[in-house]
């Protein structure tokens, strides 16, 4: 049963379209993330689901019935706000009990449910604490408990971990995932952190400029980005420009601008002909000295020159340039003795499997320098 | 090192010294003097001597109970009225004022660039029996010729409300300005409609402002005499008028001092009860 359905949802502000005709279905019990850079419309989408913004166009269905236009207090949805928005004049118990009191739940039941919920978020015995006595992480848990205690059909989370330091954020990511599993409530999670989205979600919608670039499981979105934006936003990726040469059954061949021809599964092509971008993730590339190339080389191969190699402990990253000046980044795991570093200035052979090759539509862009045939984009790693 | 830490320990006291000296010279000394004056006896020609005569208190409380009660009553009415008038105003400026917040605040304060007396006198013109307002209404026959506002409680209370409005508006604004709009959304998210959101979140969080504004309004209003003097009549005399007359006209200093201390006691009691009613924890929180 679909828990939430958005149909042609649109929000226009004075001079801009924040959310542009999006359609989405989220299943019951899913941990769903809206991922995108700031200003992409993800928070506006969440606020429309919560009832804090009225859509300009489109419909919102919750558990089969339409809630478009209903005020927040008439929706079976609760929100964990970015700033937590805990009531400073109430203690922890009264904050968590707030929604239950409004719903006229009996006093004894309120007490036991608050108690139980504080156990779940790992704050047992904190009932009488004042909000300003809590740390950021504890406030975050209280905000979560305050929303979850109402047993909503859907929980909305607006970058709830944004204010926490990195270590606490990592812990809370796993905590949130555990709690979601425990309570079994559908979570819709807004974040600009791709790692966070991938860690926690069943599915991710990558948003850009008010529309969905791609919706899918974390692996799918990462391994097979559908657009140039997604390939750049989730992790680092290398994009090389090329033209479709032939499609032969399940395999397609693409002639790269820089000379080589690469193969990839035909169903990954966004079009059947013309110019496209060919992508490969840095960790999928096999790097070896060009003069010592051997049988370990993969089917798709190009030549390049190492410009810089950086040792980062767990891996070594190589920044290379192809013959036409396109940058290509390669990550190699440091597996001990076999990992002999390749120095700057070495001519190398970069190769990867057709299976690890993806294709995206070329977006026409202003070309004002020679560096037009490929792009290497560093993902938004925050 | 020892000398330095010695000085470090003294620093807080040194910093408060100017304030302490100021308050001693201009608050403690006059208070003690006035308190001792209130127990003196005599008259202006032969001078006043301290005799410990406490009956001045009971005598004045008896003779001026009407003015006492009227002052406290006017204080209550005016405080309640400015609270009702300024709360929506301050709320709107604080939450919806946007970039023009300061302009709106300036508009509230603008009349106060003219002196208190002038402002009150201009109300005399506005409310005058043949003034622009009543005169016009009388000319077109809406009001009878005998109708008057000046010299009635209405005029005094209206003047007081007008004069003390900003003393409530500004503390309320400060309290409401700190209100995170996300808290109002959170309340709505947790099944509160607009009214419940106001009662459960907005109002409790505005309480410190309400309290401060009430004190800043009630205390000076209860002691005011200018409005009653300029806009009122014989039936609107406030305790401030009595004190002013005793000290400046009758030159009966002990009586003036005793009444002043009675007024102060009354106000302190009122403030204490008010703080208890609002709940001290919220006010300090």
With respect to residue B48, please indicate whether it lies within any of the assigned structural domains. no
Contact (CB<8Å) A99/B191: yes
All residues of chain A having their beta carbon less than 8 Å from the beta carbon of residue B190 are: 73, 78, 98-99, 102, 146, 150
With respect to residue B125, please indicate whether it lies within any of the assigned structural domains. yes
CA distance A135 to A263: 54
By CA distance, what is A97's nearest residue in B? Answer: B190
By CA distance, what is A156's nearest residue in B? Answer: B189
With respect to residue B23, please indicate whether it lies within any of the assigned structural domains. no
pLDDT surpassing 70 at residue A4: yes
Note the pLDDT of residue A381. 34
Work out the angle at residue A42's Cα, subtended by the Cα atoms of residues A38 and A47, and round it to the nearest 5 degrees.
120
Contact (CB<8Å) A72/B285: no
Contact criterion met (CB below 8 Å) for A278 and A350: no
The pair of structure tokens assigned to A1 is 């049963």
By CA distance, what is A148's nearest residue in B? Answer: B190
Note the pLDDT of residue A341. 73
- A259 confidence band (pLDDT: 50, 70, 90): confident
The pair of structure tokens assigned to A49 is 């689901």
Parallel, antiparallel, or unpaired: how do β-strands B40-43 and A31-35 relate?
unpaired
Contact (CB<8Å) B190/A78: yes
With respect to residue B3, please indicate whether it lies within any of the assigned structural domains. no
By CA distance, what is B282's nearest residue in A? Answer: A89
Torsion of CA B117, B121, B123, B126, to 10 degrees: -160
Contact (CB<8Å) B282/A73: no
| DSSP bridge partners of A332 | A316
Q: If you ran DSSP here, which 8-state letter would residue B143 be given?
A: S
Note the pLDDT of residue B24. 96
Overall number of domains in chain B:
1
pTM: 0.81
- B130 confidence band (pLDDT: 50, 70, 90): confident
Whole-number CA gyration radius for chain B: 24
Contact (CB<8Å) B185/A147: no
From B189's Cα to the closest Cα of chain A, the distance in A is: 5
Is the backbone of residue A33 left (phi > 0), alpha (psi -120 to 50) or beta? beta
Q: How do residues A342-381 score in pLDDT, each as one tens digit? A: 888 889 999 999 999 999 987 654 343 333 333 333 333 3
With respect to residue B147, please indicate whether it lies within any of the assigned structural domains. yes
Contact criterion met (CB below 8 Å) for A223 and A235: no
Q: Give me the DSSP letters along A295-311.
A: TT--SEEEEEEEEEEEE
Q: How far is CA A175 from the centre of its chain?
A: 18
Residue B49: strand, helix, or coil: strand
The pair of structure tokens assigned to B107 is 């508009």
Contact (CB<8Å) B189/A79: yes
Note the pLDDT of residue A378. 37
Residue A254: strand, helix, or coil: strand
Q: In what order do the strands lie in the sheet with A16-27?
A: A16-27, A2-13, A57-62, A65-66
All residues of chain A having their beta carbon less than 8 Å from the beta carbon of residue B204 are: 89
Contact criterion met (CB below 8 Å) for A262 and A217: no
| Number of residues in chain B | 285
With respect to residue B146, please indicate whether it lies within any of the assigned structural domains. yes
CA distance A277 to A38: 25
Domains of chain A: 2-221 (3.40.50.300), 224-377 (2.40.50.100)
With respect to residue B30, please indicate whether it lies within any of the assigned structural domains. no
Contact criterion met (CB below 8 Å) for A49 and A4: yes
CA distance A117 to A110: 10
pLDDT surpassing 60 at residue A313: yes
State the residue for tokens 């109708």. B147
Q: In what order do the strands lie in the sheet with A186-191?
A: A77-80, A154-158, A186-191, A31-35, A203-208, A211-216
Count CB atoms within 10 A of the CB of residue A166. Answer: 9
The pair of structure tokens assigned to A279 is 């992508």
Q: How far is CA B65 from the centre of its chain?
A: 20
Q: If you ran DSSP here, which 8-state letter would residue B148 be given?
A: -
Contact (CB<8Å) A81/B205: no
Task: State the residue range of the domain holding B180.
Answer: 66-284
What does the pLDDT average to over B245-253? 93
For testing the chain A interface, which of B190, B201, B207 should be mutated: the one with the most A CBs within 10 Å? B190
For testing the chain B interface, which of A47, A77, A87, A100 should be mutated: the one with the most B CBs within 10 Å? A87
Residue B19: strand, helix, or coil: helix
Note the pLDDT of residue B67. 94
pLDDT surpassing 70 at residue B85: yes
Would you list which residues of chain A are within 8 Å, Cβ to Cβ, of chain B? 50-52, 71-73, 77-79, 81-83, 85-89, 98-99, 102-103, 130, 146-147, 150
Contact criterion met (CB below 8 Å) for B150 and B231: yes
CA distance B11 to B16: 9
Note the pLDDT of residue B4. 61
pLDDT surpassing 90 at residue B143: no
Contact criterion met (CB below 8 Å) for B114 and B163: no
Note the pLDDT of residue B155. 94
| DSSP bridge partners of A361 | A276
Q: How do residues B25-40 score in pLDDT, each as one tens digit? A: 999 999 999 999 999 9
Closest C-alpha among B116, B86, B122 to residue B104: B86
Count CB atoms within 10 A of the CB of residue A301. Answer: 17
CA distance A104 to A98: 10
Which of the residue ranges A55-59, A188-192, B77-81, B112-116 would you say has the lowest mean pLDDT? B112-116
Would you list which residues of chain B are within 8 Å, Cβ to Cβ, of chain A? 180, 182-183, 185-193, 196, 200-201, 204-205, 282, 285
What does the pLDDT average to over B42-48? 88
**Which helix (H) or strand (E) element contains residue B82?**
helix B65-96
From A149's Cα to the closest Cα of chain B, the distance in A is: 10
Contact criterion met (CB below 8 Å) for A246 and A262: no
Closest C-alpha among A198, A205, A197, A191 to residue A25: A205
Contacts of B111 (CB under 8 A, 6+ apart): B119
| Number of residues in chain A | 382
Q: How far is CA A71 from the centre of its chain?
A: 29
With respect to residue B264, please indicate whether it lies within any of the assigned structural domains. yes
CA distance B189 to A76: 9
Contact (CB<8Å) B185/A79: yes
CA distance A146 to A87: 11
CA distance A358 to A278: 6
Interface contacts A/B by beta carbons within 8 Å? 59
All residues of chain A having their beta carbon less than 8 Å from the beta carbon of residue B180 are: 83, 85
Closest C-alpha among B15, B13, B36 to residue B254: B36
pLDDT surpassing 80 at residue A37: yes
Torsion of CA B191, B193, B199, B204, to 10 degrees: 60
Contact (CB<8Å) A71/B193: yes
CA distance B102 to B93: 9
CA distance A43 to A50: 10
How much is the mean pLDDT over chain B?
Answer: 91
Contact (CB<8Å) A87/B183: yes
Contact (CB<8Å) B180/A89: no
Residue A226: strand, helix, or coil: coil
Backbone angles phi, psi at A314, to 5 degrees: -75, -25
Contacts of A163 (CB under 8 A, 6+ apart): A82, A83, A84, A136, A140
Residue A162: strand, helix, or coil: coil
Q: Give me the DSSP letters along A105-152.
A: --HHHHHHHHHHHHHHTT-TT-TT-BGGGS-HHHHHHHHHHHHHTT--
What CATH number corresponds to the domain at position B98? 1.10.3720.10
The pair of structure tokens assigned to B97 is 């004022």
Note the pLDDT of residue A191. 95
pLDDT surpassing 60 at residue A288: yes
Contact (CB<8Å) B192/A73: yes
């Amino acid at each position: 049963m679909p828990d939430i359905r958005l149909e042609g949802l649109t929000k226009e502000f004075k001079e801009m379209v924040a959310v542009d005709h999006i359609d989405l279905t989220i299943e019951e019990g899913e941990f769903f993330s809206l991922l995108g850079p700031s200003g992409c419309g993800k928070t506006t989408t969440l606020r429309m689901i919560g009832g804090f913004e009225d859509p300009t166009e489109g419909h919102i269905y919750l558990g089969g019935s339409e809630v478009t236009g209903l005020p927040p207090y008439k929706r079976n949805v609760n929100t964990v706000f970015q700033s937590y928005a805990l009531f400073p004049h109430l203690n922890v118990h009264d904050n968590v009990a707030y929604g239950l009191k409004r719903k006229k739940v009996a006093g004894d039941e309120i007490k036991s449910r608050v108690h139980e919920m504080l156990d779940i978020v790992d704050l047992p015995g904190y009932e009488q604490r004042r909000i300003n006595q809590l740390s950021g992480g504890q406030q975050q848990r209280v905000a979560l408990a305050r929303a979850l205690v109402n047993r909503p059909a859907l929980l909305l989370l607006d970058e709830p971990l944004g204010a926490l330091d990195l270590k606490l954020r990592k812990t809370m990511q796993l905590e949130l995932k555990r709690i979601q599993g425990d309570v079994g409530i559908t979570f819709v999670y807004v974040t600009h952190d791709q790692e966070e989205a991938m860690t926690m979600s069943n599915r991710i919608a990558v948003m850009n400029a008010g529309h969905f670039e791609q919706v899918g499981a974390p692996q799918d979105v990462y391994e097979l980005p559908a657009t140039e934006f997604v390939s750049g936003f989730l992790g680092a990726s290398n994009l090389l420009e090329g033209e479709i040469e032939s499609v032969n059954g399940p395999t397609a061949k693409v002639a790269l601008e820089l000379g080589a021809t690469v193969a990839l599964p035909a169903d990954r092509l966004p079009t059947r002909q013309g110019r496209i971008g060919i992508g490969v993730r840095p960790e999928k590339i096999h790097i070896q000295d060009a003069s010592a190339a051997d049988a370990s080389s993969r089917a798709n191969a190009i030549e390049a020159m190492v410009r810089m190699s950086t040792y980062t402990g767990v891996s070594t990253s190589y920044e290379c340039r192809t013959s036409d000046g396109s940058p290509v980044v390669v990550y190699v795991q440091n597996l001990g003795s076999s990992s002999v570093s390749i120095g700057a200035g070495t001519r190398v052979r970069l190769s990867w499997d057709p299976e690890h090759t993806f294709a995206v539509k070329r977006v026409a862009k202003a070309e004002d320098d020679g560096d037009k045939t490929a792009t290497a984009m560093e993902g938004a790693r925050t | 090192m020892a000398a330095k830490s010695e000085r470090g320990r003294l620093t807080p006291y040194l910093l408060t010294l100017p304030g302490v000296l100021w308050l001693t010279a201009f608050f403690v000394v006059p208070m003690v003097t006035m308190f001792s004056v209130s127990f003196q006896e005599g008259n202006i020609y032969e001078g006043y001597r301290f005799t410990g005569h406490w009956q001045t208190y009971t005598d004045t409380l008896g003779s001026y109970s009407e003015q006492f009660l009227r002052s406290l009553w006017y204080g209550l009415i005016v405080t309640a009225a400015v609270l009702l008038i300024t709360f929506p105003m301050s709320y709107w400026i604080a939450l919806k004022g946007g970039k023009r917040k300061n302009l709106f605040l300036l508009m509230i304060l603008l009349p106060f660039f003219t002196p208190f007396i002038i402002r009150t006198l201009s109300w005399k013109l506005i409310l005058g029996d043949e003034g622009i307002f009543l005169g016009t209404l009388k000319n077109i026959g809406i009001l009878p010729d005998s109708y008057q506002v000046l010299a009635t409680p209405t005029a005094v209370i209206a003047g007081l409300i007008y004069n003390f409005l900003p003393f409530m508006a500004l503390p309320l604004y400060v309290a409401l300005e700190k209100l995170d709009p996300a808290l109002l959304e959170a309340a709505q998210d947790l099944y509160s409609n607009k009214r419940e959101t106001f009662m459960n979140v907005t109002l409790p969080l505005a309480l410190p402002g309400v309290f401060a504004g009430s004190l800043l309004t009630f205390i000076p209003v209860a002691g005011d005499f200018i409005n009653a003097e300029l806009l009122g009549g014989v039936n609107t005399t406030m305790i401030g008028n009595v004190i002013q007359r005793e000290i400046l006209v009758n030159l009966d200093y002990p009586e003036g001092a005793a009444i002043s201390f009675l007024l102060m006691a009354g106000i302190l009691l009122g403030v204490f009860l008010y703080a208890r009613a609002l709940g001290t924890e919220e006010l300090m929180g």
